[in-house]
Amino acid sequence: MAEAMTGMAEEVVPGLLLWRGLLDRPAQAAMVADIRGVIAAAPLVRPVTAWGRPMSVRMTSAGRVGWVIARGRYAYVPRHPETGTPWPPIPASVLAVWRAVSGWDDDPDCCLVNWYGEGARMGLHRDADEGEEGFHAPVVSISLGDPARFRIGGTERRGQTTRLLLRSGDVLAMGGPARLAYHGIDRVLSGEGDLLPGGGRINLTLRVVRSA
């Protein structure tokens, strides 16, 4: 299954695989319902960066560990920072995507949930808190809701970048030479999708974490 799925992907840049429209509309709607369940158990928070600025994206997690910014430091922790309760499990619908595309035997430890409201974006960054062993696995990203302009470069912050539009139902895997590449969301095309009432974009990233 994993190999067959890998064959169906477009390799946008080395290591960055894209499955356009992997999730059809009913699958997207079902996944949104599952994510609303995650958010009900683990409310979205707006992390504050090390520079003291609140991020424009609101976040929560599912899985063994969740990604947080704690006193200016990025960390994977086993409990929600505000409620103190363990993160809810990663929904089966989301795990099924990981199993189909990651080519990885183990399930991910974290599903980071990003909620982009009007004007939200995410600056260029690397997913580099998962620990050396976690870097061998890809990061799998699922887009739901309004389309977004995604950008990816190399392992240096400066340098050439490639842009692509991510639409609802698209799935990306960042592995191999793209695993530690700088990437971000320049802009969400608010209101151009019709999956989420009132607009907005949900992005899920699945990560193997060996640092926590």
Ligand X SMILES: O=C(O)CCC(=O)C(=O)O
Q: Is the Cβ of residue 127 or residue 146 nearer to Mn ion in the bound state?
A: 127
Q: Is the Cβ of residue 127 or residue 170 nearer to Mn ion in the bound state?
A: 127
Q: Is 130 in the site for Mn ion (CB under 5 A)?
A: no
Q: Is the Cβ of residue 17 or residue 185 nearer to ligand X in the bound state?
A: 185
Strands 171-174 and 139-145: antiparallel
| Residue keyed to tokens 């400066």 | 158
Using a 10 angstrom Cβ sphere, with 0-12 exposed, 13-18 middle and 19 or more buried, the burial of residue 84 is exposed
From 122, 144, 164, 208, residue interacting with ligand X (rule: CB under 6 A): 122
Question: What would the DSSP string read from start to end of 119-188?
Answer: T--EEEE----SHHHHTTSPEEEEEEES-EEEEE--SSSSS--EEEEE-TT-EEEE-GGGTT--EEEEEE
Q: Is 141 in the site for ligand X (CB under 6 A)?
A: yes
Q: Is 127 in the site for Mn ion (CB under 5 A)?
A: yes
Please, what is the minimum distance in Å from the beta carbon of residue 113 to ligand X?
9
Q: Is 179 in the site for ligand X (CB under 6 A)?
A: no
| Residue keyed to tokens 């009432």 | 197
Residue nearest to ligand X (CB): 203
Among positions 80-119, residues that touch ligand X (CB under 6 A) are: 112, 114
Rounded distance between C-alpha atoms, residue 139 and residue 31, angstroms: 18
Q: Is 109 in the site for Mn ion (CB under 5 A)?
A: no
Partner in contact with 168, chosen from Mn ion, ligand X, none, beta carbon below 5 to 8 Å by kind: none
Please, what is the minimum distance in Å from the beta carbon of residue 142 to ligand X?
9
Q: Is 208 in the site for ligand X (CB under 6 A)?
A: no
Of 149, 143, 136, nearest to 175 by C-alpha is 136
Given its phi and psi angles, is residue 21 left (phi above 0), alpha (psi -120 to 50 degrees) or beta?
left
Residues within the interface to ligand X (CB under 6 A): 112, 114, 122, 127, 141, 143, 150, 166, 183, 185, 203, 205
